[in-house]
Structure 1
Amino acid sequence: MAPADDRRRFARAAWVNVLGNAAKIVVEGIVGLTFGSVALLADAAHSVGDLVASVVVLVWGDTRFEDPDASHPHGHARIEPLTALFVGATIVVLGGSLLYESVQGLLAGESATFSVALVGALAFAMALMYAVYAYTVRINHDLDSTALAALAADCRNDIYTTIAALVGIVGLMVGYPPLDPIAGGLVSVLVVYQGVSIARENVGYLAGAGAPADHRDEILEILRAHPAVEGVHDLVVFYDGTVLEVEAHVEVDGDLTLREAHDIETDLVEGVRALDAVGDAHVHLDPSGIGEWKDATDGGWAGESTLLGRS
């Protein structure tokens, strides 16, 4: 699929999240204020953070589709985890504020008035968020955007928090008003947990965290499978944004011509880059058996290499 098409699909998914959250805020906010429900207002306020996050993804997120330039020679992929990190941080701050308000409501003994409209508003919110979640997941199936994934997770968790708010409304219906702020507090805790999870994942992308073991093993096998490769050492696989960057030293016959060595290096780089998770690969060819400069003693070459031999 063309990058322009991907960019349009990304924008549509972000717009659906913006409009979905705006509609939820309006409905829950009006009904919650009318009947004084802390749980409903907490759920609506949660969506204020979601709306801000959705707007940020809409404005910043599609920068990932821009080509590399002089200021960003590796492209703009890191904007995505930065955007998702902002989403997570916004959710954590909002969740903490909602928790405080819920505790205050419980201590003050404030009481809401039950109405079928409260149940209707929450049912509307759950149906709406499920529709937005399903659409975002479907669009993101091919795009594999961490920003859209964060929004989708937010929509899914919105359903859970709305169910928690519904518990508070049931408390009003059966004559136990304190269940409303209690449910609001539960919603807040779930919100904070969700934000921390999103932020923690994307901090790893931004900090250049190491690749999972299965990705590293797959890359190692590709390098070692080439018939000209006699060993692999100093393999480093880390995240550069949401994609993996690969650096490796590969040992080959030291008597190869420069053109032969170039062709081998090209094969190895193309083989590693073919993996969906890999953004770029850098392979350095070493003559086999001479070791590495970092292993040298007294200014000379070390006697043995730290290679990982082919099986």
Structure 2
Amino acid sequence: MSNSKLSLSAGIASVAVALTLVLLKFLALSVTGSLSVAASLADSAVDLMMSLIAALAIVYAARPADQDHPFGHNSAEDLAALTQALVITASALFIGWSAITRLRAPEPVSLGDEMIGTLVMLASILLTFLLVIWQSYVAKKTGNRVVAADRLHYIGDLLPSVGAIIALQASQRFGFSGLDSWIALLAALIMLKGALGIGKSAWDALMDREADPEVVSGIAEMTRGWPGVIGFHDLKTRTSGSRIFVHLHIELDGDQSLRQAHDIGASLRQAILSRWPEADVIIHKDVAAKDGRPGT
């Protein structure tokens, strides 16, 4: 199976699992009235949206550059991520406010059929775990960053599900229904923190923020020691979705042939791509100063 088909299979599996979890948790919420289950349901609903967008992003981002989009279509991932961050924030605020309201109520709110809720949450944990195993395999096999990011998100979702089970069992065995609101509040804070991280990354990419400093310094170090390169300057990077765009000027001996200069630039570009396959690299060749002064 090709890498693109493997990645798409992970996207389809993610959508199918997310839809199943939404239906199961909606059933659990309807019979228990648990806020921690509601928090987990909201998280799964967001997962469903994110999984749909991730699957579409895998297909859309794979499209080659065209006349209207000479740098490709990767920014669609960032626009989708920014939208996801806003939806997650709204869900977290709603769950948090509901938890605080219930905690301040004069009488504790009793939960419904905790056993059904517990069984549903156990099933959701099992489905999520199986999905994470498949996504881990696909991400390792293909190197697809969208699948890897989706995998990390589902790993983080295991905590609210486990918390919901603890809250349901505490209510059933000890009559401590207040724990449900506290776990829901914790889940809301985790969702809010995740939304801020996703939103910041998407915003940075849309604003053409420089690539990770380790990537920039790695490219600079590689260029500085490359055979035939006297110096370099104007190393510029930006990110778009899972892509890194690199523009670099290298300074070469002006007395060598055009073919020699081309071979130096081509070999350096290939080395950069080998280390960072998600990069799009453009290298400009300049004549070094006569005194051999290196570039910056």
Q: TM-score, normalised by structure 1?
A: 0.83
CA distance in 1, matches of 2:40, 2:63: 36
CA distance in 1, matches of 2:135, 2:110: 37
**Structure 2 equivalent of residue 200 of structure 1:** 200
**Structure 2 equivalent of residue 31 of structure 1:** 28
Residues 244 and 184 (structure 1), Cα distance of their counterparts in 2 relative to 1, 3 Å cut: same
CA distance in 1, matches of 2:58, 2:81: 9
Amino acid at match of 1:23: T
Amino acid at match of 2:157: D
Residues 80 and 140 (structure 1), Cα distance of their counterparts in 2 relative to 1, 3 Å cut: farther
CA distance in 2, matches of 1:254, 1:261: 9
**Structure 1 equivalent of residue 6 of structure 2:** 9
- Once superposed, what is the RMSD of the aligned Cα atoms? 2.5
CA distance in 1, matches of 2:58, 2:83: 11
* Alignment equivalent of 2:56, drawn from 38, 51, 59: 59
- Residue 121 of structure 1 and its aligned partner are, at CA, apart by 1.7
Residues 226 and 156 (structure 1), Cα distance of their counterparts in 2 relative to 1, 3 Å cut: closer
Structure 1's unaligned 5+ residue stretches are 292-303
CA distance in 2, matches of 1:262, 1:147: 34
**Structure 1 equivalent of residue 149 of structure 2:** 150
CA distance in 1, matches of 2:55, 2:17: 13
Q: How many residues align?
A: 293
- Residue 17 of structure 1 and its aligned partner are, at CA, apart by 1.5
Residues 91 and 38 (structure 1), Cα distance of their counterparts in 2 relative to 1, 3 Å cut: same
Asked whether the equivalents of residues 39 and 183 of structure 1 are also in contact (C-alpha less than 8 Å), the reply is yes
CA distance in 2, matches of 1:175, 1:83: 42
Asked whether the equivalents of residues 230 and 251 of structure 1 are also in contact (C-alpha less than 8 Å), the reply is yes
**Bigger radius of gyration:** 1
- Residue 142 of structure 1 and its aligned partner are, at CA, apart by 3.2
**Structure 1 equivalent of residue 80 of structure 2:** 83
CA distance in 1, matches of 2:274, 2:294: 27
- Tell which has more relative contact order, 1 or 2 (C-alpha 8 A, sep 6+): 2
Residues 290 and 135 (structure 1), Cα distance of their counterparts in 2 relative to 1, 3 Å cut: same
- Residue 277 of structure 1 and its aligned partner are, at CA, apart by 4.2
* Alignment equivalent of 2:42, drawn from 34, 45, 54: 45
Amino acid at match of 2:154: C
- Residue 239 of structure 1 and its aligned partner are, at CA, apart by 2.2
What secondary structure does 2:104 align onto?
helix
- Residue 101 of structure 1 and its aligned partner are, at CA, apart by 2.0
What per-residue deviation string (whole Å, max 9, x for no partner) do you get for residues 260-306 of structure 1? Answer: 33333333333333333452222222222269xxxxxxxxxxxx967
Q: How does 1:88-103 map to 2 (within 5 A)?
A: 88-103=85-100
Percent identical:
21
**Structure 2 equivalent of residue 116 of structure 1:** 115
1:21 equivalent to 2:18? Answer yes
What secondary structure does 1:274 align onto?
helix
Asked whether the equivalents of residues 230 and 294 of structure 2 are also in contact (C-alpha less than 8 Å), the reply is no
Asked whether the equivalents of residues 103 and 178 of structure 2 are also in contact (C-alpha less than 8 Å), the reply is yes
What secondary structure does 1:226 align onto?
coil
Amino acid at match of 1:187: A
Residues 189 and 47 (structure 1), Cα distance of their counterparts in 2 relative to 1, 3 Å cut: same
What secondary structure does 2:281 align onto?
strand
**Structure 1 equivalent of residue 191 of structure 2:** 191
